[in-house]
Amino acid sequence: MGEQLTTSAEALRLFFTEDIYLVNSDDKILPEISAESVSAPAAQHITAVAETTVSVSGAVNEVPGHAAPVIEVKQPAVKTVAFKYLGKNQKNILILVNDEQNEVSTDKGKELLRNIVKALQLTANDFALLNYATCMQTGFEELKSFFKLNVVLSFGVTPLHLGMGEHPVNEIIMQDAAQLIFSGNLDQLADDQIGKKTLWGSLKKLSI
């Protein structure tokens, strides 16, 4: 088709019986594309374009003759975790124990923990005491988000339990600006003189 020779609307109606659209600045005209005027493969191609072409604003670029598809956006589920713990956690210090038989530990395990807390000059207002046996499969990220961790003292809960890599026991390690010490179960640690001595050496280096 050559250049458009007239701009008269009445004259153009004599030559074109279908709707026409201005598609670019050099005044070329094309008849409307409908599903009936193209072959089956071409119609499928146009439909695919209509389904996958999305502008930045989120609107779908429609192809004439085809309804715009409905695009559903699924929001990720928010996981809510509730923990039953002792203390008020005012200094964001988490003490983890792991005992399926007792609320905290055996009598000698609790006595050891009382001595550790007293030596660090902490009160129940300063820390949260959580028995990991009540929330198995909980990872470090969930604990950090809930307790806003500065310090973690872990007795019987290993780094692998929390989804972390392997780390030495009774030594300070850093994880996302939090100081962590992983030690043995309180009941067993109470009878481990070497373990308690190594642990105490690390406890004295904590920034609380």
Model confidence pLDDT, tens digit, residues 140-186: 999 999 999 999 999 999 999 999 989 999 999 999 999 999 999 99
Contacts 24+ apart (CB under 8 A), 8-17: none
pLDDT digits (tens, 9 = 90+) for 46-80: 333 344 444 444 444 555 665 666 666 555 554 55
Q: Are 131 and 103 in contact (CB under 8 A)?
A: yes
Q: Find all residues with CB under 8 Å of 127, minimum gap 6, and list them.
A: 87, 89, 91, 93, 94, 95, 117
Q: Are 157 and 182 in contact (CB under 8 A)?
A: yes
Of 180, 176, 178, the C-alpha closest to 203 is 180
Q: Find all residues with CB under 8 Å of 67, minimum gap 6, and list them.
A: none
Residue 201 is predicted with a pLDDT of 97
Please report, as a single letter, which amino acid is at residue 201.
G
Of 191, 14, 38, the C-alpha closest to 106 is 191
What phi and psi values does residue 54 have, to the nearest 5 degrees? -130, 130
For residue 18, CA distances in Å to 13, 77, 167 come to: 9, 51, 76
pLDDT digits (tens, 9 = 90+) for 85-137: 999 999 999 999 999 999 999 999 999 999 999 999 999 999 999 999 999 99
Residues of the chain with CATH 3.40.470.10: 85-203
Residue 82 is predicted with a pLDDT of 80
Count of all residues that appear for the chain in the document: 208
Cα diameter, the chain: 105
State pTM to two decimals. 0.63
Residue 65 is predicted with a pLDDT of 61
| Edge-first strand listing for the sheet containing 93-97 | 85-86, 127-131, 93-97, 151-155, 178-183, 172-175
Residue 22 is predicted with a pLDDT of 46
**CATH code reported for the domain at 85-203:** 3.40.470.10
- Residues 152 and 200: their CA atoms lie apart, in Å, by 15
